[in-house]
Each structure stands twice: as C-alpha cells, then as structure tokens.
Amino acid sequence: MSPYDRILIIDDDVELCELVAEYLTVEGFLVDQVHQGEEGVEKALSNPYTLVILDVMLPQLNGFEVLRRIRTKATVPILMLTARGEDVDRIVGLELGADDYLPKPFNPRELVARIHAILRRSRPDGGPGSRPQKIVFEDVLLDAGNRTVLLQDKPVDLTGVEFDLLHAFLKEPGQVLKREDLVRQVLGRELSAFDRSIDMHVSNLRKKLGPKGDGGERIKSIRGAGYFYTVSR
C-alpha cells in the first residue's frame, strides 16, 4: 500500500462514515468523506483518489447516478455499498461500472480486504526489476505495465476488473476458465452461492470489446463450466 492512498467515502450515514474513516485511518489510508451525491461527484472528479466507497441509498442524487457521472470522466476504482439482499442494486451497480460491492451491514475487516483486493488489481503488475508484460492477440494489444488496452489500435476504457478479466482470457485464449477461478483471480475472493458479479463483469467486457471483425463472439460461455476467449480460424 502506498503512503499516499487516499479514499473518498460518499454516504449520508454520518456515524457510519466516521467509524469507517477511523478504521481505514488506522490501516494507513488517508480518508475524506462527504454525505451528498452532488458533492461526492465533484470531489471524486477534482481529486486524485485511489478508491471511492459509494453508498447506493443517497438523498437527492442516488448512488447509481453518482457512479454514472464519475464513470463518464474517471476510472477510479469504486466499491458500492448496498442493502443486504438487494440483488438488483448489485447488478445495476456492476453494469454501470462499479468494481465491486459490499452489502450492509458489513465487517470492517471485510471492507479492508475488498479494498486491498481492488487496489492490487488496479495497479501495474510486477515489482522492482520486473518487465511489463504486453500481450498481442489478434486485434487486441494489452499492456500490463500501464494497464491499457488497444482494440484495432484504438484505446478501450476498462475498469480494473474488466482489465484483469481480459488479461486472464488473453493469457490462455481458447481455454475455458472456471467461474470460481476467475472470481479468485480477478475479484480476490472465493465464489459464493448466488454471486453473479463475475458474470456481470464479463458481460460488460463483451459490450466494450464488441464482436470480432468477422462478427463472431470474443468471449463465449460454457454452461456449468465458465468462459473462454475465442480463437479465430
């Protein structure tokens, strides 16, 4: 973790914000907090935050609209806080570009674990002395060093999760990757019952990449098994 990791909490529950901020500060993060959506959008877009924690249930401007506005201009990782059991909220949040979600009420340790998992995948690969890895496959160029993707020589805006998914697929094109392995590798946790997060992220990645030049699918699903990136004949 960088000593300059700065987190923004956007939640109208002042008491919860204070508790989360106190816990994250002990963990070494710098923490700002706001309690309204409009202010949250402005602050998220005008400061170099490492990550944003965003509640769905905000007065006036709700969390989905805040997420949508941030995503039109920034790729900062966003962790959504949802009501427990509200699957629709999670699906909508992921469709709009959230990196992950956490249902309320939550254990602060789980929050920190999710944050660390998101930050690990949002940063360039490798440590000192390592060489950035570039993968060129058909019309896609993925640069793991600066975490960029070119499709037919044009940049593609991907979230951290979408980038890591594509990276996993392009390292083994044509090979079926199990859902549980993708969740472990990309989301940094074990697959739990009824968790469809990885499927939503794959769906978002498909939409952003579009079909291949010949009109074929790039990423196919195998029922009961997982997904694979197709190899053109």
Q: Tell me how far apart the alpha carbons of residues 85 and 70 are, in angstroms, rounded to a whole number.
A: 25
Q: Where in the chain is the domain with CATH 1.10.10.10?
A: 134-229
Instruction: Look at residue 84 in the predicted model and tell me its pLDDT.
Output: 66
| CATH code linked to domain 6-121 | 3.40.50.2300
What are 61-89's pLDDT values in tens digits? 999 999 999 999 988 999 999 886 677 88
The answer to whether 80 and 102 are in contact (CB under 8 A) is yes
**Average pLDDT in the chain:** 88
| 52 Cβ contact list (under 8 Å, min separation 6) | 7, 8, 9, 10, 40, 44, 70, 76, 77, 78, 79
Q: Where in the chain is the domain with CATH 3.40.50.2300?
A: 6-121
Q: Tell me how far apart the alpha carbons of residues 43 and 4 are, in angstroms, rounded to a whole number.
A: 17
More confident call, 91 vs 2: 91
Averaged pLDDT for residues 122-147:
73
| Residue 150 bridge partners (DSSP) | 141, 155
Instruction: Look at residue 4 in the predicted model and tell me its pLDDT.
Output: 67
Q: How many residues does the chain have?
A: 233
Percentage, residues of the chain above pLDDT 90 = 61
CATH 3.40.50.1580 fits 134-229, yes or no: no
Does pTM surpass 0.85? no
**Is the pLDDT score of 124 beyond 70?**
no
Q: Which helix (H) or strand (E) holds 54?
A: strand 51-55
Confidence of residue 129 (pLDDT cuts 50, 70, 90): very low
**Is the pLDDT score of 200 beyond 60?**
yes
| 138 Cβ contact list (under 8 Å, min separation 6) | 212, 232
Residue 135 neighbours by CB distance under 10 Å: 16
Instruction: Look at residue 117 in the predicted model and tell me its pLDDT.
Output: 86
**Is the pLDDT score of 21 beyond 60?**
yes
**Is the pLDDT score of 227 beyond 60?**
yes
End-to-end distance of the chain based on CA atoms, in angstroms? 44
Cα distances (Å, whole numbers) of residue 194 to 139, 144, 191: 34, 31, 9
